[in-house]
Structure 1
Amino acid sequence: MTVTDEARRALDRQRTVEITTIGRRSGQPRRIETWRYRAAGRYWLTGSPGSRDWYANVVAHPAFTLHLHDLDLEVRGRPVTDPEERARIFGEIVPALDWGGSLESWIAGSPLVEIEFGGHGPS
């Protein structure tokens, strides 16, 4: 999928997004709210340190729906587990936050998923 200008504008406007994942055990759709960030010219999903069901669902079933106001995008999630990549991405995200948590705690314990758009992510 090529990301349209409309989708890019919607992504840039919304930090809080809704996603529908497929439950890793149930196989049923699960819609939740999470945070979207932009770093290294790409879009990411993450949250404060701790385990997240949505993350486990994306690991098990990478395809999910990203809901942006009146626009639904079929995307894939790429869980980021490489420590160096996590440090680079969180190094951009965490300093911009205006609430608690150290960079080290985010690197060690936060989910991190790159939103992939059919292999053609926005720059």
Structure 2
Amino acid sequence: MTVTDETLRALERQRTVEITTTGRRSGRSRRIETWRYRACGRYWLTGSPGPRDWYANLLACPEFTLHLATLDLQVRGRPVTDPDERAIVFGEIVPGLDWAGSLGSWIAGSPLVEIELG
């Protein structure tokens, strides 16, 4: 996929996004709403601490569709498990969220996936 200015503008405009993953057990398409963040100059999917089916699906099959208002993008997710990288990324995301709770809880328990555009 070629990353165009239109793609980047669409990503910047939309924080709440829908994604379609492939079910890890069923193999069926699963579409859900989640949050998109920008940190360290890249785009991420995450959520408050706790297990997420979409994250488990991306671990099993990292290719997914990112649905934006005007575009459907075929992308790849890169799950981030390295504690140091998680601390850096969440260190940019969490302080801007007044409802988020502690940075440590996000580092320890939140899913974190980099959206690889191409």
Q: Do both share a fold (TM > 0.5)?
A: yes
The amino acid of 1:63's aligned partner reads: E
2:7 maps to 1:7 = yes
Counterpart in the other structure of 2:36: 36
Per-residue Cα deviation, 1:57-115 (whole angstroms, up to 9, x for no partner): 00000000000012000000000000000000000000011213100000000000000
Aligned length: 118
Q: Distance in 2 between matches of 1:2 and 1:37?
A: 21
Aligned residues: percent identity? 81
Give the TM-score, by structure 2 length: 0.98
Is there any run of 5+ residues in structure 2 with no aligned partner, and where? none
Cα-Cα RMSD: 0.6
Q: 8 Å contact 2:10–2:70 — kept in the other structure?
A: no
Q: Distance in 2 between matches of 1:13 and 1:104?
A: 28
- What's the offset of the Cα at 1:2? 1.9
Counterpart in the other structure of 2:60: 60
Counterpart in the other structure of 2:104: 104
Q: Which runs of 4+ in 1 moved over 3 A?
A: none
The amino acid of 2:32's aligned partner reads: I
